Each structure stands twice: as C-alpha cells, then as structure tokens.
A and B are shown apart, each in its own frame.
Chain A
Amino acid sequence: MTNPAFTEPSSDAKAMADKTARQAHYRKIASTGLISRLVPGVRSDVYLGDDHLLHAKQIMLFEKYRRFYFSDIEAISFSKSNRWIWFSVVWGFLLFCSLFWYLGHGTWFYVVGGIFSFVFGGLLISNLIGGPTYVVNIQTAAQIRRLRPVERENQLVKFQEIVVPMIMLAQQPSVNQAAV
C-alpha cells in the first residue's frame, strides 16, 4: 500500500504550488505610466518581496527580473529631471495643433478635432498631475540600475516611505553581531 504522504503530487497540484510560491509574496508598489503599456520595452514595475525588491521589466515577449535584497542596497540616488517640462511642451503643442481642425467647416472636422484635443489634452493634464520627474538609481555592490517606475515625485516619495525603513531594518546590526 502506498503511503499517501509520499505519493507523487499531481501536475495540477505542482502547478498550483509553484504559482503560490512564485506569486504569493510580491506586492506591486510602483509602475510606469499608461503610455509605457503601449510601447514595447518601456513598461516596468517594482514589486515588494519578503526580503527584496523585484524590478520586472517587460521587453515585448519576455519579462526580465532584477532583485535588490534589502541587506545589499548601498544607495538610492535621484536627480531632478526636466523631462516632465519637455513632455508638457510637446503635449501642449500637439493640443494646440489639434485645435486647427476646428477651422474646417463640417461635422467631421469637429469630431476629429474633438478626438485629438481629448487625447492630447488628457495626456497634458495627466503629465501635469503626475508632477516633476526624477532619474532614480538604485545601487548595490554588484549593480546600479535605473528605476523608471518611481520617477514621478509622488511615486518616489511613496517608494521611499515604504522601502527606506525596510532597508534600515535589514541592515541594522543583529543582536549576535552587537554582542560581539
């Protein structure tokens, strides 16, 4: 008689266990914007794991992962960038151009003008609401990586609030080390 404890688990059970092991401990804390979802190779997300950060970057047919263990993170550097101003200028200019459709006399001109104005106006407003942009790098002894998902001010603040205490906690001297 076979001991049930030692029977080979079914493929369904294996798949379920694998899925649970893989996905149970990750919580998304930041993501790149809506436009990046439409452009291949730009979308990336940052997830919080038990003892590390996971940076998942989609390159069209693949998803590449980078792990940053809290105990290994040496520095987080960020510089102010003018990207959001340039994007505002571009979206504003395109919004202005789309208003030229209203010079035409006809329902279709108004409809097309309305669609373009809605799209570019929406992008301009979302860019302004997103706020200032930064270039953010995370550094360990082995790698320096750019974290695109946290390059907006509100995302960066939230990211720091979550991650910095966890890094400090992971890097504080343990009781055993302190005793030595």
Chain B
Amino acid sequence: MSAGTFCPICHHLLTASQWNQQDFTACPNCQAPTRTLVFPAMARIVAAPRPEPRTETEAGCFFHTGSRAENVCNVCGRFLCSLCTLAFGSQKLCPDCIYKKRRESPLFRDQAILFDNIALLLVIVPVLCLVYIYLGLLFSGFALALVIIGWRQQRTLVPRSKYRFVLAAGLSLIEAIGWIALVWLIVWLIQSHPTEFGL
C-alpha cells in the first residue's frame, strides 16, 4: 500500500478526501485544480512472502524443497513457493527464467537502440558541421553499415516504420557519391592548373 497520492505539479501529498471526486479540488499546497482516480490496488497490502513448510503429501518448491509449492512458473513449469514466485502482470515466473530471459524476452526489455536514428544522425550532422569535407566517405560508410545491421537487429517493442532506414541509406549513398565527386574535382583542378596551386 502506498503512502497516498501526490499533486502532479508540486508533488505535495493529497488528502484521502480528494480521491475519486467528480470535480477538481484544489491542491492544499499549490492550489492547482487536481483530480485523482484511485483504484482498489491502493488499498492492497502486500505482505512479505512467507513460504509455508510442506507436508508429506504436498509438492515442494523446486528451489526450496522444504517449502510448499504454491505456483507454477509460466515459462519452465517448475513448482515454486511464495518466495520464488515473481509476478509480471498476469505471468508468474521463477528467478531462473528471469535471469535467462532478461535479454531475449520482450517481457523484460526496457530499452531498444534506434539504429535508424543513429544512421540519420551520421549522415546529417557531418554535413551541418562541415566535417563532411574531410570525413564524408567514412561517415557515409558507417551510416550504410548501420542501416544494414539495424534493418534486422532493431528490436523495438512497438511497431516502427522503416522509412528512416531508407532515408538514411539514400542520403548516405548520395553523400558518398558527392564526396567522391568532390575529391575527383579537386584532383582534376590541381592536375589541370598546377601553377595556380603552387605546384
């Protein structure tokens, strides 16, 4: 059970009389009109798990054989006592499965690398910073490599369009061709007018 609810603006503790009101009530601290919807979970008291000892006829926990099994892991099917049961929404898992699945399972993923944004950054920022003149081909190559890697490896939990990849690939190719053309032009100018360049 939480300590209570708080004003979203000043984070001051709101009184229980302000919960689930039809109209807005003023925050006691900042006077901002505030409304709070409180759900039954607020009143839930979460007690520390205390596994009970098992009897002869009962199944025991996989990890603590002396404790009575109360749940089954949704992934591996092991019997678990209340201490070993870890709830993720409607799923109940054992610590082993969480350890094994923490990287591969979408259930535990808390962030994703956006390869498409990085690739776009690599093609746009060098041009804006004029670094493109010196290292344009290198940045374009990196961006193109990221597009190729990220096309399959980008593991966002939510649907994401691929147009940024296409845009980054197109721009990196244009920049690479542009850079090669620029270098070729400079070399051609130096070769055709060596005296003007002091050669």
Contacts and interface: CB of A to CB of B under 8 A. Distances in A.
B161 interface: no
13 contacts: A22-B157, A23-B158, A26-B157, A47-B158, A52-B89, A61-B114, A62-B113, A63-B157, A66-B110, A74-B39, A75-B2, A77-B36, A146-B8
Interface of A: 15, 18, 21-23, 26, 28, 45, 47, 50-52, 54, 56, 58, 60-67, 69-81, 134-137, 139-141, 144, 146, 160, 164, 167-168, 171-172
Binding site of B, secondary structure by majority: helix, strand, loop or mixed?
A: loop
B34 A167 contact: no
Contact of B90 (A51, A61, A168, A172): A51
A81 B27 CA distance: 13
B121 A69 contact: no
Nearest to A136: B8
Closest 8 CB pairs between A and B? A135-B8, A69-B89, A74-B42, A137-B8, A51-B89, A79-B32, A79-B34, A22-B106
Nearest to A142: B2
B24 interface: yes
B159 A168 contact: no
A135 B24 CA distance: 13
B158 A54 contact: yes
B78 interface: no
B93 interface: no
A140 B156 CA distance: 24
